[in-house]
Structure 1
């Protein structure tokens, strides 16, 4: 199951800051967009039901922890995207990205290193 865009925003906060209360997540999200506290709370409750986060009850506050890793989530999202948008062709994805965006010298060097490392395996 893949997280929605809003759930992914919450996961980014949890990955960056570790276990957090709804209030802490809400404060972080509010810095970049208009979101109500009850909306954040409801999203996090749904994420708990879906198994994306765990919840510890401490009195009246609940602390949420991401149960899915950032790397696994990114891998799953990319795999699904490549499969659906590019019919499984990673090379078409890379060509589209490099054709649309100017990569920096550092990024190109990283890509070359990755390709070299893949060729060694």
Structure 2
């Protein structure tokens, strides 16, 4: 399931902060954008219905947590993006990103390390 941009913002807060109340998520989001409390509440209720969040209903306040991991969400978004924008070509995506963005030496080293890991696992299969 592909989260909307607003849902992704809420997920980022929960991935970073852990289980939180609507008020805590609202306060975190209000630092960077104008978002009403009731809007945050409604979004989180919808996300719970969609299975993106879990909800603990103890005491008077509900505590929400991400039901999806950051990694699986990113993987799904990237897979869909590669399919729709680059017709399934990961190499076109990488070339576009590296052509538009000056990668640091550290980022390039991480990319090389990943490519070496992929090559090693392909050779052992």
Range into which the TM-score falls when normalised by the shorter chain: over 0.9
Q: Distance in 2 between matches of 1:58 and 1:119?
A: 49
Unaligned runs of 5+ in 1: none
TM-score by length of 2: 0.95
SS in 2 for 1:61: coil
Q: Give the structure 2 partner of residue 75 of structure 1.
A: 75
- Count of paired positions: 121
Equivalent residues in 2 for 1:5-84 (5 A)? 5-84=5-84
Residue deviations 1:48-79, cap 9 Å, x none?
Answer: 00000011112321100111011000000000
Q: Give the structure 2 partner of residue 95 of structure 1.
A: 95
SS in 2 for 1:64: strand
Q: Give the structure 2 partner of residue 108 of structure 1.
A: 108
Unaligned runs of 5+ in 2: none
